[in-house]
Amino acid sequence: MASGETREALHRFGLARDQLSAALAGAAGLTASELAALEQLELNGPMSQRQLGERLALSSGGTTLLVDRLERAGLVVRRPHPADRRAVRLELSRPDAGLTAVEDYEEAVTALVRRLSADERQVVTEFLRAAAAEASGTAERLRLERASRRRRGRPGRSRVPGGKTGRDPAG
């Protein structure tokens, strides 16, 4: 198999995962950002509002609004930080956080993983961890570049399909 096929397969998986996220959010009556926040808390455990905002690439105001909505819906709680009395940590209010629709998908993926040998699982896991690290690193670099442009008073420029350049509405 050529490396281009593997890259394409990973890209297709990413797009399919985006579709799944949109469908899960809709089924749970959530926005995509709300679902992403719940997934971050589920996978990474309690975190500060700032950490969550950074992981979701949201402004502090946008993060506050998001967390307020999740708290009103009973999906997250704000708790005092155990080591910093000025800080607050966000936690899921319950383990499933209303995302029971994902169980069938998780069971199917678990069945796929079981079909792999131990060596294959190790290779796939290492590849996915490395790909995730590259994605996270690139996202952080882009976030820092955007913040640097804003500090210099130069909003970012974005490319839109068709090659046209336009002002970045978030910049």
Question: Does the structure show a pLDDT above 70 at 157?
Answer: no
Could you give the CA distance from residue 34 to residue 76 in angstroms, rounded to a whole number? 10
DSSP run (H or E) holding 47: strand 47-48
pLDDT tens, 52-87?
999 998 999 999 999 999 999 999 999 998 888 888
Q: pLDDT tens digits, residue range 97-144?
A: 556 667 788 889 999 999 999 999 999 999 999 999 999 899 889 888
What kind of fold does domain 3-115 have according to CATH? Arc Repressor Mutant, subunit A (1.10.10)
Single pTM value for the model: 0.75
Distances (CA, A) of 70 to 21, 59, 92, 122: 17, 16, 9, 36
